[in-house]
Amino acid sequence: MALNKVLIVTAVAASMALAACGTTRTTSVSTTTVGQELSDLKQALDSGIIKKSEYEKKRKQILRGK
């Protein structure tokens, strides 16, 4: 009876270990603040990378939190 429990526990542990094989999970975290985003956006405008209309649109999105 004890041998059956050991075998069951071993089988469950092995199946759990194999279930995770081959999977990869990647998590990314953004640490950019609203102020930094606005600063970067202003810099893009000042350097001519984006137009004034694009700047205004993106600025409003950032301030709304989207």
pLDDT in tens, 13-32: 666 666 556 677 888 777 88
Q: What local confidence, expressed as pLDDT, does residue 59 receive?
A: 97
The boundaries of the domain holding residue 48 are: 33-66
Q: What local confidence, expressed as pLDDT, does residue 4 receive?
A: 56
| Residue 65 and residue 38 in contact, taking contact as beta carbons nearer than 8 Å | no
**Other Cβ atoms closer than 10 A to 25:** 5
pTM over 0.75: no
Mean pLDDT of 36-46: 97
Assigned domain for 16 exists: no
Assigned domain for 48 exists: yes
Query: What is the number of domains present in the chain?
Result: 1
Q: What local confidence, expressed as pLDDT, does residue 62 receive?
A: 94
